[in-house]
Amino acid sequence: HTIEHFLHGQIDCWNRGDKDGFFAHYRSVSANGLSIEYVGKPQADAWQVLEGMWAQQQPKIRVEVRQCIVNGNEAAC
């Protein structure tokens, strides 16, 4: 499944500090555009959001998937 490849691939890249790989996974699933929304914050350019998240959080946070549920082209982890 494309969504499973994306989910596990971007997390693996995040944890290894592979920024190019991380962004490549997002580009691979966003041919029609990308939208990232944070509750309580104004809408912003998704790529700038990802750049900021990477710069501020990647050095501090390691992601561990405890459970992943895929239903068609939607997923929750």
| pLDDT tens string 10-67 | 999 999 999 999 999 999 989 898 888 888 988 899 999 999 999 999 999 999 999 9
Phi-psi region of 47 (alpha: psi -120 to 50; beta: other; left: phi over 0): alpha
Residues with Cβ within 8 Å of residue 33, at least 6 apart in sequence:
46
Angstrom CA distances, 39 to 5, 20, 23, 42, 52, stand at 27, 27, 23, 8, 16
Return the amino acid letter for 20: D
Segment 1-6 shows an average pLDDT of 86
User: Does the pLDDT value for residue 9 go beyond 90?
Assistant: yes
In this prediction, residue 16 carries a pLDDT of 97
